[in-house]
A = this chain, B = another copy of it.
Amino acid sequence: MSLSLQRPSEVEPPKRQAILDAATELFTAHGYGAVSMDAIARAANVSKATLYAHFRSKDELFATIIREACQSNLAAREFLPQEDGDVRAALTRLAGRMLRFLLEDRSLAIHRVVIAESVRFPELGRAFFESGPLMFSAAFGAWLTEQTEAGRLSVADPAQAADQFAGMLKCGCYTRAALGVSPAPSEAEIDHTVSGAVETFLKAYAATASQD
């Protein structure tokens, strides 16, 4: 369940998969330091020796899991809608899907653990950044360039505009959720954040805006 890599069972030995699943669950839920190799072995129904037969160390197991989670989880989503005609509708759908994705327990957990361990595992911070924020910035920035060329928007710095849009989405309820502050964001709150970000973005980057 959860973050398992969907490989055919011939290629991925079942025990190894069980280890990955159990470790993913535990690491994302409790962080690196709070999870012992004993606990992982217990949760995966294998012995510790089997665990060490597949992964040389706790560090390697952790890095493997987080790296895979970054790639498979973030890259697989399609965040760019096709409705090129209606910019507002396109932005709203994009923002709604993205904020709801970011607020999923799994996304929050990965974000937390990567932030926490980015000092000890710098390559994980980089992997997360490239497969997450950077990939979004590039893809959404390219879309903004297209819209600008088509005369539907007026964006001079697409990468910055993309970052700003993402930032406005993550500002309110996401920050609260990332810090574990209750209550969890309601659907109404999410929609409010989305529409607010879209309206602000459109006012600032509308093609029909008055030229200064």
Question: SS class of chain A's interface: helix, strand, loop or mixed?
Answer: helix
With A125-B181, A204-B203 known as contacts, the answer to whether A163 contacts B171 (CB < 8 A) is yes
The CA-CA distance from A138 to B15 in the complex, in Å, is 52
B196 touches A203 (CB 8 A): no
With A168-B164, A179-B125 known as contacts, the answer to whether A200 contacts B192 (CB < 8 A) is no
With A169-B167, A170-B167 known as contacts, the answer to whether A119 contacts B30 (CB < 8 A) is yes
The CA-CA distance from A193 to B203 in the complex, in Å, is 19
A27 within 8 A of B: no
Q: Which listed residue, B115, B129, B168, touches A167 by the CB 8 Å rule?
A: B168
Produce 1/0 per residue, A109-122, CB < 8 A to B.
Answer: 00111111111101
Chain B nearest Cβ from A207, distance in angstroms:
13
A87-137 residues with Cβ-Cβ distance < 8 A to B are 111-120, 122, 125-126, 128-129, 133
23 interchain pairs, CB-CB under 8 A: A29-B119, A30-B119, A30-B120, A31-B33, A31-B119, A33-B34, A111-B115, A112-B119, A114-B179, A115-B178, A115-B179, A126-B180, A126-B181, A133-B176, A163-B171, A163-B172, A164-B167, A164-B168, A164-B196, A167-B169, A167-B172, A170-B171, A200-B201
Q: Which 6 A-B pairs have the closest CB atoms?
A: A33-B33, A167-B171, A116-B116, A167-B167, A163-B171, A125-B179
Other than A114-B179, A210-B210, give 7 A-B pairs with Cβ distance below 8 A: A30-B119, A30-B120, A111-B115, A116-B117, A125-B181, A201-B204, A203-B204
